[in-house]
């Protein structure tokens, strides 16, 4: 189990920050550090090695099964109860990016005599770099989702007369039948002019011959997520559709090539964005190039013009440029990639990137 190693890595960060312990309240952070998957929990990681999980009575048995190496406290609300286990006189950090104002007030009232200090993003920093087990889980989620879309295409699921909603439901059902817990997020299925809306929600609109169809989808598997986008054409593509797809494909290739260990996130975004801007479509690429993927489908690092920091080896991120022509249609191509040291980023998604006419 990697959880003790993860807590040991966090202890090193706490020691460097001058903290005696960290109160962990975000449920995905709790899962990352302990393995616990219940809906109510908080954890304390202590530099002196006294780590514990606090949850309520519904999860007593589950906590014992999932976290046999941890001291367990059964109490509610969990965050104040967990914080109260830290001895008086200690400095307790908390993630101010995830603890609510009311949550902080409850913790503060529960720990008189302790020093509380903001410590945002410490667990997020660790979660950015995936271990081998996480990469394997992400690869499995990507393979499952990609297999579901292949099945859909082979079954003729992209056909004139079917609605966006029907196709999206069909794809999500296929992912579940292949073993997914469910979709990683609500599938974006956008046909015709709707494909120019970056985050269109599927409707009863029917697919028509000549439509571009943008499909942004993913599978949730063992807590990890995939994220893929491909754009198809119903029937033969028009010249402008081919040209638009070729432009986005070139931008995606530039972004993938720039995705290297130590690259600034703004430089990776810029490599793809420059391709699109030189073609005159700067305003039609309104979002960042990509994001981290893991226990959350959207997590650091953020590849964008306003992002900060660099890409680390071990990160798993998306590269997803798009160009959207209002009233006509849009194209996005997205892959999930594993950043490696001394080697090109490896795609965990495997669907062909060329424009497919169905």
Torsion over CA: 217, 142, 66, 110 (sign): negative
Domain boundaries defined on the chain:
3-126, 132-357
The Cα–Cα gap between 50 and 196 comes to 53
pLDDT for res 1: 63
Average pLDDT estimate for 2-15: 96
Average pLDDT estimate for 298-305: 97
CATH of 132-357, one of 3.40.50.150, 3.90.230.10, 3.40.250.10, 3.90.1150.10: 3.90.230.10
Mean pLDDT, the chain, whole residue set: 97
**Contacts with 102 (C-beta within 8 Å, 6 or more apart), sequence order:** none
For residue range 75-88, list pLDDT tens digits in order. 999 999 999 999 99
The whole-model pTM stands at 0.95
For residue range 158-205, list pLDDT tens digits in order. 999 999 999 999 999 999 999 999 999 999 999 999 999 999 999 999
Give one DSSP letter per residue of 63-108, joined into a string.
HHHH-TTSEEEE-SSHHHHHHTTSPTT-EEEE-TTTS-HHHHHHHH
CATH architecture classification, 3-126: 3-Layer(aba) Sandwich (3.40)
Does residue 221 surpass a pLDDT of 70?
Answer: yes
- The answer to whether the 3-126 and 132-357 domains have the same CATH topology is no
């Amino acid at each position: 189990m990697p959880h003790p190693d993860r807590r040991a890595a966090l202890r090193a960060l706490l020691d460097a920050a001058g903290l005696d312990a960290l109160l962990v309240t975000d449920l995905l952070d709790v899962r990352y550090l302990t393995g616990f998957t219940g809906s109510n929990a908080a954890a304390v990681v202590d530099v002196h090695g006294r780590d514990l999980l606090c949850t309520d009575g519904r999860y007593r048995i589950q906590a014992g099964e999932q976290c046999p190496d941890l001291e367990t406290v059964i109490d509610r609300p969990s965050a104040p109860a967990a914080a109260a286990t830290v001895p008086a006189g200690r400095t307790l950090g908390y993630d101010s990016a995830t603890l609510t104002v009311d949550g902080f007030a409850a913790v503060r009232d529960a720990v008189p005599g302790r020093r509380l200090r903001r410590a945002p993003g410490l667990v997020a920093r660790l979660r950015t770099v995936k271990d081998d087990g996480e990469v394997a889980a992400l690869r499995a989620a990507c393979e499952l989702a990609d297999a579901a879309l292949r099945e859909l295409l082979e079954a003729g699921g992209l056909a004139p007369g079917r609605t966006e909603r029907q196709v999206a439901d069909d794809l999500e059902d296929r992912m579940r039948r292949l073993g997914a817990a469910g979709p990683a997020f609500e599938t974006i299925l956008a046909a015709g002019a709707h494909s120019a809306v970056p985050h269109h929600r599927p409707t009863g609109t029917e697919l028509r011959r000549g439509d571009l169809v943008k499909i942004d989808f993913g599978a949730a598997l063992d807590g990890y997520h995939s994220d893929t986008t491909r754009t198809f054409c119903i029937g033969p593509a028009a010249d402008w559709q081919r040209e638009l797809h070729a432009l986005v494909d070139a931008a995606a290739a530039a972004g993938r090539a720039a995705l290297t260990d130590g690259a600034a996130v703004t430089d990776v975004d810029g490599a793809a964005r420059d391709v699109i801007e030189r073609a005159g479509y700067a305003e039609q690429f309104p979002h960042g190039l990509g994001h981290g993927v893991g226990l959350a489908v959207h997590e650091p690092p953020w590849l964008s013009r306003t992002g900060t920091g660099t890409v680390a080896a071990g990160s798993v991120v998306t590269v997803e440029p798009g160009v959207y022509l209002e009233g006509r249609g849009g194209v996005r191509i997205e892959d999930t990639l594993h950043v490696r040291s001394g080697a090109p980023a490896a795609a965990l998604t495997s669907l062909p990137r060329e424009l497919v006419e169905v």
